[in-house]
Chains A and B, each alone.
Chain A
Amino acid sequence: MNVVSALIAGLIFGVGITLSGMGNPAKVVNFFDIAGHWDPSLAFVMGGAVVVTFIGYRLVWRQTQPLFSAQFFVPQRSDIDRNLVAGSAIFGIGWGMAGFCPGGAIPALGFGYWEPVLFVASMIAGLSLVSVLRRQGGGSAVSA
């Protein structure tokens, strides 16, 4: 059931990204280009997503456990460390350069163009690089 549940979540996510225009790098970059062809659409995407998630999460957490799993896996950390700050800053630079973030690029793989493939392959190279370095150094993996 876990895979089927996640497949459904992925489908809804992919439809959401596609309709919202966030799989289109030109539209994403224009949100940040206030001094140029500004397109505020991304704020409406974030707004819609956060309102639904904020309310929905609270309804879901009234239950003692998820439907098909024994527990909720919710991150508990609250410290602001150097990795969070530096990593987020680096992520933003890459997002600005390419116009893709992970959530926009994955559904865009299904659009049928080659640019998302090139971006995702490069992103996987970056993820793998850190993962290999961490394994040698003994650190923790990604967890949002």
Chain B
Amino acid sequence: METQATEFTPALSALGGALIGLSAVWLMASIGRIAGLSGIVSGVLPTSWDRQSIWKVGFLIGAIAAPVFLSVIVGFRPDFSVPSNNWLLIGGGLLVGVGVSFGGGCTSGHGVCGISRLSMRSIFATVIFMATTGITVYVMRHLIGL
């Protein structure tokens, strides 16, 4: 893992965060659903598909189209740099998929929606995954030197 500095963007990040919150509030206000990305992705897979999941397809199309619109219409292209090699992306992806299945959510479902509901499960989950992410990054960067 190559370490490189990224620019601290408090205003833009808080604005983006507020929009993530607005999305969660709108999804609850309109169709009564939690905006949890791991649940939304897993809900559209053939292994768990049912007709109730059709809204999840709409959410995913919107989420993927958003940066395309930002790029084409506003001309905003975000910084993008991947410190991890392909094996870390594949291994990390597998672990994320398995972990969110058992844990019942990720940064959006537990971290944003769950904390906002003051759900003890979600607060617990968020503390745990933030901790293991931090430990993993420390071990990779400062002990192994990946």
Q: A: which residues have CB within 8 A of B?
A: 1-27, 29-30, 32-37, 39-42, 44-54, 56-57, 59-61, 63, 65-69, 71-75, 77-80, 83-104, 106-113, 115, 118-132, 134-135, 141-144
CA distance A90 to B130 in the complex (A): 11
Contact A23 B137 (CB under 8 A): no
Chain A residues with Cβ below 8 Å from B137 are 29, 32-33, 96
Known A16-B23, A57-B116; further 4 A-B contacts with Cβ < 8 A: A88-B125, A95-B92, A99-B83, A131-B47
Specify the chain B residue showing the minimal Cβ separation from A128.
B47
What sequence of 0s and 1s flags, for each residue 39-63 of chain B, a beta carbon within 8 Å of any chain A beta carbon?
A: 1011101011000001111111111
Q: Are A48 and B107 in contact (CB under 8 A)?
A: no
| Contact A71–B128 (Cβ < 8 Å) | no
Distance of A37 Cα from B113 Cα, bound (Å):
29
Output the least CB separation between A40 and chain B (Å): 6
Partner of B32, one of A19, A21, A73, A104: A73
Instruction: Give the CA-CA distance A15 to B102 in the complex, in Å.
Output: 28
> Which of A15, A19, A66, A141 is close to B29, meaning CB atoms less than 8 Å apart?
A66
Query: In chain A, what residue has the closest Cβ to B137?
Result: A32
From B19, B59, B86, B128, A16 is in contact (CB under 8 Å) with B19
A residues less than 8 Å from B135 (CB atoms):
92, 96
CB atoms of B41 and A39 under 8 A apart: no
Q: How far is the CA of A90 from the CA of B101 in the complex (A)?
A: 10
CA distance A82 to B136 in the complex (A): 21
A130 touches B97 (CB 8 A): yes
The reply to whether B105 and A92 contact each other, CB–CB distance below 8 Å, is no
A122 and B101 CA atoms in complex are apart in Å by 14
> 3 shortest A-B CB distances, which residue pairs?
A126-B97, A144-B109, A10-B62
Contact call A26/B45, Cβ cutoff below 8 A: no
A1 contacts across to B, CB distance below 8 A: 30-31
Asked if A119 and B93 make an inter-chain contact with CB atoms under 8 angstroms apart, the answer reads: yes
Q: What's the nearest-Cβ distance from chain A to residue B91, in Å?
A: 6
Task: With both chains docked as a complex, state the minimum distance between the C-beta of A30 and any C-beta of chain B, in angstroms.
Answer: 5
CB-CB nearest in chain A for B2: A26
Nearest chain B residue, comparing its CB with the CB of A135: B47
A127 CA to B106 CA in the complex, in Å? 13
Q: Which residues of A contact B5 (CB under 8 A)?
A: 30, 37, 39
- Residues of chain B within 8 A of A12, CB atoms compared: 19-20, 22-23, 26, 62, 66
- Asked if A103 and B54 make an inter-chain contact with CB atoms under 8 angstroms apart, the answer reads no
Nearest A residue (CB) for B5: A37
Q: Are A93 and B132 in contact (CB under 8 A)?
A: yes
**Given contacts A10-B63, A20-B15, A45-B17, are A78 and B39 in contact (CB under 8 A)?**
no
